[in-house]
Amino acid sequence: MTRKIVIIGSGHVGATLAHMIVANGFADELVLIDQNEAKVTADAIDLREALPNLPFHTAITVNDYAALGDADIVVSALGKISLNDGAKEDRFSELDFNSQQVKAVAPRIRDSGFNGILVVISNPVDAITQMYQQITGLPRKHVLGTGTMLDSARMKRAVADKLDLDARAVTGYNLGEHGNSQFTAWSTVRALDQPLTELAHTRNLDLTALDHEARHGGYAIFNGKGYTNFGIATAASRLINVIYSDAKAVLPVSNYRDQYDVYLSHPVIVGRDGVIADVPLHLTAEELGKLQKSADFIRTNYEKYQN
């Protein structure tokens, strides 16, 4: 079976993801699409020149929407980071520009006959994922965003640093918006085979500070280099491989939630058919309130840009 991936948007994240795909042999065919013809062409040539030193071959094409028809996965990495335009630390500040880009691109995805899985990285990812689903008409289970995969990873890294552990030894989730209204669901977090809420007392952990580090870690990176790319591209790469391998992994992706009538991050089982099943959580009353508040925030802001 030929594995074919399309990446729309060849900025810092899209280019980093493209390199991960080519360097690790994750696809047989890779299509790169971007409005900046010179940039995306240069990226394609650069990637082709990496191939002689790799044990894999990937056929790379540029700016061909007709190639989407038989693709397995389309990744949306398009968008403009607007935080450097004087905006506050708020990913929804990117919705004005990015929603217009989606309204131009989504019909072309739909009209190509694409019938695979659409993975969204573009911010604000929950609103953008919902916009893509509504315009393309793809099944909700086939349109999902990277959501709080990255935020959950940031939380695990922060907790692991405090406990002097490998970050993979920490489990649990950040839920809700991939943005300021998200929160760490401490009732789900475990390390050293103990609930973190118990470890916090014996190890003198400040859960409020750790939650803040998970929510605002991306801005610290942005302030240092003007963008983030490695963490989110790795999250997207993992999601792509979970889909291809039908791994049925539990991931906190942005997915449509019936009870909130909005896309937000909550763990689900993911495989070749996209979102396969929900994963119920036993959240505290406080956490359920935070999740409702985050859902309301996403919906209110999304509705401003639907038309």
d(CA 259, CA 88) in angstroms, rounded, equals: 30
d(CA 278, CA 270) in angstroms, rounded, equals: 9
Contact 174, 151 (CB under 8 A): yes
Q: Which residues pair with 278 in a beta bridge?
A: 268
Provide CB contacts within 8 A for 280, sequence distance 6+: none
Catalytic residue at 178? Answer: yes
d(CA 149, CA 152) in angstroms, rounded, equals: 5
Strand ranges, E, within the chain: 4-8, 29-33, 59-62, 73-76, 117-120, 143-145, 171-175, 183-191, 194-195, 249-251, 254-257, 262-265, 268-271, 274-278
- The two beta strands, 29-33 and 59-62, are parallel
Pick the catalytic residue: 178, 201, 212, 216? 178
d(CA 153, CA 132) in angstroms, rounded, equals: 25
Starting at the edge strand found earlier in the chain, the sheet holding 117-120 runs 59-62, 29-33, 4-8, 73-76, 117-120, 143-145, 254-257, 262-265
Contact 32, 65 (CB under 8 A): no
Query: Which amino acid is it at 174?
Result: N
Look at residue 200 and give its three-state secondary structure.
helix
Contact 7, 43 (CB under 8 A): no
Residues labelled as active-site residues: 178
